[in-house]
């Protein structure tokens, strides 16, 4: 994986060129490589050996405290000490000022080694980065700085039992207590937050919850819709302006842990805010400090959305990668069956390793094309985030990210999960047992189509908003980039694939128009997921063609990349026809189906 990562980062995406920019001027190819080396080593030593342990010894709540394996404490501590929590932050807040693409590449090692043990740090980094963008100077100093230092960890509390995809329906309330608190306008929160990752543990001395809640209007009722949602810092233990713990426990209580299919090493919690389990300041109600302006909570929460969604997609890729490598290794060693020749099978000859069967190679090639293609997609998008922040053409980066973010999140969640399923298949019966790691990779990966916007919600975002916004400007910006690759490829041996890609792009464009030709959202959006699948496969075909053009030489590495690219064009891209057919004719079946007919 490291060779592929380095090739994609430095040969294909030219990440080394970023050091010419003022923000990254103190970096060099050597410092980038050193970051990747450090991450690879910590992931190998502190995370990977304990991935199964974190799964089998899942978090346990004894009614008072949550217990985690010591290995999780040690791994997260090692991560915090590496400085990666503040990797992209300014030097003057203790950061490394790394480009997003290098930060993501470094974090990829942890997702591959143990995605669940890595969860605490990823959440903390996102939480603190959000506070750097939207918090007051004191909120940054007290909360974000201590999170970046690894002294406290953070959470993101959006979902509620009755409100997941539709956050406008959250019911947590915030009542003003003191407008003039130094840590920010102080409120009392009451409500329930469901599915909160890292919501309770004792890895760190405090937990900084970022909580969405509604402030009631003068009539005592919360404003309907997302406009009424505000954002609050709710620390588990109260702190003063000098970031010292006051010793007083805030009114946030763990109601229980969720017991999950996978990702078991990360605690997942139902948290009760303000139920009176604790009484800070002598009364019930969780103390929360407003971040930003009232009513702008969701906007602030989605400030880090690009990075969060690329991060989820990259996590899915790395789980796929782990399964691919495990099944490749197995396939080289497992003797089973003999070659079929015109004269039949020679039962007296030794059995051959299963990698010699064409069907096993098909499964390995599929995995290779999904995970290496997914890695290219995630890194390409992370590189666009750097263009957005420090590049010359920020408008173009924004337009491309707009249409690519739903793909960066959803495509690996679906296809690198499929990759994990194929890894199990390569191992046969052994793959289905807990004696081999591939079943855990599949279980861990199954989350990714659900959280950070479900698959269906990503598809609605893509077809309902992103491809039609500003008269289709973002889609047009993507088409220009794809066309540039086609023009380069058409001059080479890749001309057939270039023509195939041009046809696919035209098909996607045509289906987009036909989906919206009646102007009826319910007609267009009924087939949003097949649309997103076709869109994603077209994007991946484009990236594979672009990567193939960057490959040099005839060694095994180069041949492998070319074979995976050819596989994607031969076996995967043709699938888009069936997906786009239902989109283009606005197939009404799913929309018309009645609940009673099931
Ligand atoms: C392990 C885990 C960790 C999580 N971590 C966190 C966390 O740290 N913080 C946090 O706030 N949340 C977290 N979540 C919550 C997660 O974001 C939600 O589960 C997710 O947003 C979906 O919400 P829901 O579960 O209520 O499902 P629902 O919203 O009820 O969706 C159920 C199904 O209906 C579909 N659906 C819903 N609405 C529509 C629509 N309008 N059109 C078409 N289809 C629709 C969905 O696509 C889905 O398939 C986590 C969840 C899990 C499982």
Residue with tokens 């903390």: 124
- Structure tokens belonging to residue 129: 């980065």
Distance separating alpha carbons of residues 404 and 380, to the nearest angstrom: 10
Cα(453) to centroid(ligand 1), Å = 6
Which protein residue has the closest C-alpha to ligand 1 atom 37? 165
Give the residue with greater pLDDT, 293 vs 343.
293
Cα(455) to centroid(ligand 1), Å = 9
Any ligand 1 atom below 6 A from CB of 450: yes
Any ligand 1 atom below 6 A from CB of 120: no
Question: Strand 229-235 and strand 286-291: pairing?
Answer: antiparallel
Question: Strand 245-249 and strand 206-214: pairing?
Answer: unpaired
- Structure tokens belonging to residue 394: 């920020």
Q: Are 473 and 399 in contact (CB under 8 A)?
A: yes
- 284 pLDDT higher than 90: yes
pTM, two decimal places = 0.97
- 429-464 burial code (b ≥16 CB/10 A, e <16): eebeeeebbbbbbbbbbbbbbebbbebebbbbbbbb
Any ligand 1 atom below 6 A from CB of 456: yes
Q: Are 267 and 257 in contact (CB under 8 A)?
A: yes
Q: Look up residue 11 and give its DSSP letter.
A: I
Q: Look up residue 218 and give its DSSP letter.
A: T
Cα(88) to centroid(ligand 1), Å = 29
Active site residue 452: yes
Tens digit of each residue's pLDDT (9 = 90 or more) over 40-52: 999 999 999 999 9
Distance separating alpha carbons of residues 46 and 50, to the nearest angstrom: 7
Per DSSP, the three-state class of 252 is strand
Mutate which of 154, 192, 195 for ligand 1 pocket (most atoms within 8 A of beta carbon): 195
Cα(590) to centroid(ligand 1), Å = 21
Mutate which of 157, 450, 458 for ligand 1 pocket (most atoms within 8 A of beta carbon): 450
Which protein residue has the closest C-alpha to ligand 1 atom 16? 451
Phi, psi (degrees; rounded to nearest 5) at 180: -105, 20
Among residues 452, 522, 523, 572, the one annotated as catalytic is 452
Any ligand 1 atom below 6 A from CB of 481: no
- Which among 156, 159, 165 is positioned nearest to 460, based on CA atoms? 165
Tens digit of each residue's pLDDT (9 = 90 or more) over 297-331: 999 988 888 899 999 999 999 999 999 999 999 99
- Calculate the alpha carbon distances from 387 to 12, 25, 101, 116, 394 in Å: 15, 15, 10, 30, 6
| 234-263: average pLDDT | 98
* pLDDT, the chain, mean: 96
For the chain, percent of residues with pLDDT exceeding 70: 100
Any ligand 1 atom below 6 A from CB of 156: yes
Any ligand 1 atom below 6 A from CB of 590: no
- Structure tokens belonging to residue 125: 């980094």
Chain Cα centroid distance, residue 318: 10
Tens digit of each residue's pLDDT (9 = 90 or more) over 97-147: 999 999 999 999 999 999 999 999 999 999 999 999 999 999 999 999 999
Distance separating alpha carbons of residues 191 and 206, to the nearest angstrom: 21
Distance separating alpha carbons of residues 409 and 454, to the nearest angstrom: 10
- Using the atom order of ligand 1, give the atom closest to the CA of residue 260: 1
pLDDT of 334: 97
- Using the atom order of ligand 1, give the atom closest to the CA of residue 161: 26
Which ranges of 453-494 does DSSP label H, i.e. alpha helix? 455-461, 473-489
Any ligand 1 atom below 6 A from CB of 162: no
H or E stretch covering 257? strand 252-257
- Structure tokens belonging to residue 38: 């450090």
- Which among 200, 194, 205, 193 is positioned nearest to 266, based on CA atoms? 200
- Structure tokens belonging to residue 492: 């080479």
| 330-346: average pLDDT | 90
First-to-final CA distance of the chain? 46
Cα(93) to centroid(ligand 1), Å = 34
Cα(168) to centroid(ligand 1), Å = 13
With a CB cutoff of 8 Å and minimum separation 6, the contacts of 378 are 104, 108, 310, 313, 314, 317, 408, 412
Cα(502) to centroid(ligand 1), Å = 36
With a CB cutoff of 8 Å and minimum separation 6, the contacts of 539 are 377, 404, 407, 411, 478
């Amino acid at each position: 994986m490291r060779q592929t990562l380095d090739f994609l980062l430095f040969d294909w995406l030219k990440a080394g060129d970023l050091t010419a920019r003022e923000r990254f001027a103190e970096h060099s190819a050597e410092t980038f490589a050193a970051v990747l080396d450090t991450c690879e080593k910590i992931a190998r030593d502190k995370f990977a050996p304990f991935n199964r342990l974190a799964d089998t010894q899942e978090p346990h709540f004894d009614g008072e405290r949550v217990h985690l394996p010591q290995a999780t404490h040690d791994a997260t501590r090692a991560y915090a000490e590496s400085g990666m929590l503040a990797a992209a932050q300014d030097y003057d807040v203790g950061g490394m000022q790394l480009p997003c693409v290098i930060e993501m590449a470094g974090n990829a090692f942890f997702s591959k080694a143990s995605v669940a043990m890595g969860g605490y740090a990823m959440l903390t980094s996102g939480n603190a980065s959000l506070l750097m963008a939207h918090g007051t100077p004191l909120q940054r100093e007290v909360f974000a700085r201590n999170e970046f230092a690894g002294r406290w960890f953070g959470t993101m509390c959006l979902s509620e039992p009755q409100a997941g995809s539709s956050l406008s329906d959250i019911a947590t309330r915030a009542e003003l207590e003191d407008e003039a608190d130094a840590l920010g306008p102080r409120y009392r929160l009451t409500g329930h937050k469901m599915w909160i990752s890292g919501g309770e543990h004792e890895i760190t001395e405090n937990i900084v919850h970022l909580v969405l809640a509604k402030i009631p209007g003068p009539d005592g009722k919360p404003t309907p819709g997302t406009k009424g949602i505000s954002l609050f810092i709710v620390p588990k233990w109260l702190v003063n302006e000098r970031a010292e713990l006051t010793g007083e426990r805030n009114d946030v209580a763990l109601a229980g842990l969720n017991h999950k299919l996978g990702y078991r090493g990360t605690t997942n919690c139902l948290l009760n805010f303000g139920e009176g389990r604790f009484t800070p300041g002598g009364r019930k109600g969780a103390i929360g400090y407003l971040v930003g302006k009232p009513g702008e909570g969701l906007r602030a929460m989605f400030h880090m959305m690009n990075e969060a969604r690329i991060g989820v997609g990259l996590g899915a890729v790395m789980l796929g990668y782990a399964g691919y490598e495990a099944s490749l290794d197995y396939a080289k060693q497992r003797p089973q069956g003999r070659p079929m020749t015109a004269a039949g099978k020679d039962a007296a000859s030794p059995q051959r390793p299963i990698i010699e069967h064409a069907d096993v190679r098909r499964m390995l090639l599929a995995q290779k094309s999904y995970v290496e293609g997914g890695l290219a997609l995630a890194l390409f998008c992370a590189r666009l985030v750097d263009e957005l922040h420090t590049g010359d053409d920020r408008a173009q980066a924004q337009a491309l990210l707009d249409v690519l973010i739903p793909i960066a999140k959803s495509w690996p969640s679906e296809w690198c999960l499929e990759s994990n399923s194929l890894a199990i298949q390569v191992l046969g019966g052994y793959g289905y047992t807990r004696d081999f790691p591939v079943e855990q990779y599949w279980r861990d990966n199954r989350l990714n189509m659900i959280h950070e916007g479900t698959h269906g919600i990503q598809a609605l975002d893509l077809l309902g908003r992103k491809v039609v916004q500003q008269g289709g400007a973002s889609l047009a910006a993507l088409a220009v980039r794809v066309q540039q690759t086609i023009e380069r490829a058409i001059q080479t041996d890749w001309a057939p694939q270039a023509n195939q890609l041009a046809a696919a792009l035209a098909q996607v464009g045509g289906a987009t128009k036909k989906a919206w030709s009646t102007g009826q959202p319910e007609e267009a959006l009924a087939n949003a997921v097949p649309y997103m699948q076709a869109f994603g496969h077209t994007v991946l075909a484009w990236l594979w063609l672009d990567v193939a053009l960057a490959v040099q030489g005839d060694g095994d590495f180069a041949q492998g990349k070319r074979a995976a690219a050819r596989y994607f064009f031969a076996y995967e891209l043709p699938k888009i026809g069936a997906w786009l057919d239902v989109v283009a004719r606005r197939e009404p079946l799913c929309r018309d189906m009645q609940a009673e007919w099931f």
